[in-house]
Amino acid sequence: MKQVIVHPQRCVGCMQCMLACAAAHSKTGALISAISESPRPRPRIHVGAGLYDEGFPNRCRHCDPAPCQMACLPGAIYRQTTTNTVLINPDVCINCASCAMACPYGVIRYHADPLAPAGKTIAVKCDNCIARQHNGLIPACVEVCKTGALTFEEMDAAMKNKTDQVARSIRAESVPADHAPGFSLLNTVKRAEKEINLST
């Protein structure tokens, strides 16, 4: 079963994934019209800045077992077994914040949502773009990510690729594991700038 895989070393912090996510979860599903919608659609993926201002796309991991699901007293959080996706039923959510306290990744937010009853504040998190997947599309964040920081692939294949990269990187005569030297250079420059600012 395919999942969104995060490759933080490739993230340049452009936040295009956030914009695409908000548009995908709007009433119309289009960026131009989503801007004027009420409530304003918001992203379910959040790009944070690391120690050296490098980007990190933080999203729901759809844990199994899911701490948020176990903490949800009214039973609003459930797992869709066909896609192995943890979802929130907006009609059942009572906005108690138990799920947010239980989430180790800090990815659950609370606000009005276009898919929720009008005027109701609910818990909102990544749903793996399940509606897009039912239409044969990949998650919006992956589709828009030009650096490959987000990919949609089988977990076993992703782990094998990572193992292969690590194996190649420890052999002196091999090709470096980072096949995108531009991103490494960008992160190196960011790191150097941060260290210079810290020392002055």
Percent of the chain with pLDDT over 70: 92
Contact yes or no for 66/86 (Cβ under 8 A): yes
Strand-pairing partners, residue 49, are 55
Contact yes or no for 177/171 (Cβ under 8 A): no
| pTM of the model as a whole | 0.80
Establish how many alpha carbons lie within 13 A of residue 14's alpha carbon, considering only the half-sphere containing its beta carbon.
Answer: 16
Average pLDDT score over residue span 95-113: 95
pLDDT digits (tens, 9 = 90+) for 110-151: 999 988 888 899 999 999 999 999 999 999 999 999 999 999
pLDDT digits (tens, 9 = 90+) for 35-86: 888 899 999 999 998 888 889 999 999 999 999 999 999 999 999 998 899 9
Residue 42 exposed, middle or buried by CB count within 10 Å (0-12, 13-18, 19+): middle
- Take residue 148 and report the two structure tokens written for it: 């490959």
Q: Could you tell me the pLDDT band of residue 172, with boundaries at 50, 70 and 90?
A: very low
- The three-state secondary structure class of 78 is strand
Report the largest interatomic distance among the alpha carbons of the chain, rounded to a whole angstrom: 61
Q: Residue 143: what pLDDT? A: 97
Q: Residue 189: what pLDDT? A: 82
Burial 124-139 (b: 16+ CB within 10 A, else e): bbbbbbeebbeeeebb
Q: Residue 175: what pLDDT? A: 47
Mean pLDDT of all residues belonging to the chain? 89
Percent of the chain with pLDDT over 90: 60
Q: Residue 178: what pLDDT? A: 55
> Where is pLDDT greater, at 129 or 164?
129
Contact yes or no for 99/66 (Cβ under 8 A): no
- How far are the Cα atoms of 45, 81, 146, 162, 200 from residue 23, in angstroms, in the given order? 12, 26, 17, 31, 42
Q: Residue 180: what pLDDT? A: 61
What is the rounded CA–CA span in Å between residue 135 and residue 45?
21
Average pLDDT score over residue span 188-200: 78
Burial 70-86 (b: 16+ CB within 10 A, else e): ebbeeebbebeeebebb
Would you say residue 174 has pLDDT above 70? no
Contact yes or no for 86/20 (Cβ under 8 A): no
N- to C-terminal Cα separation, the chain:
50
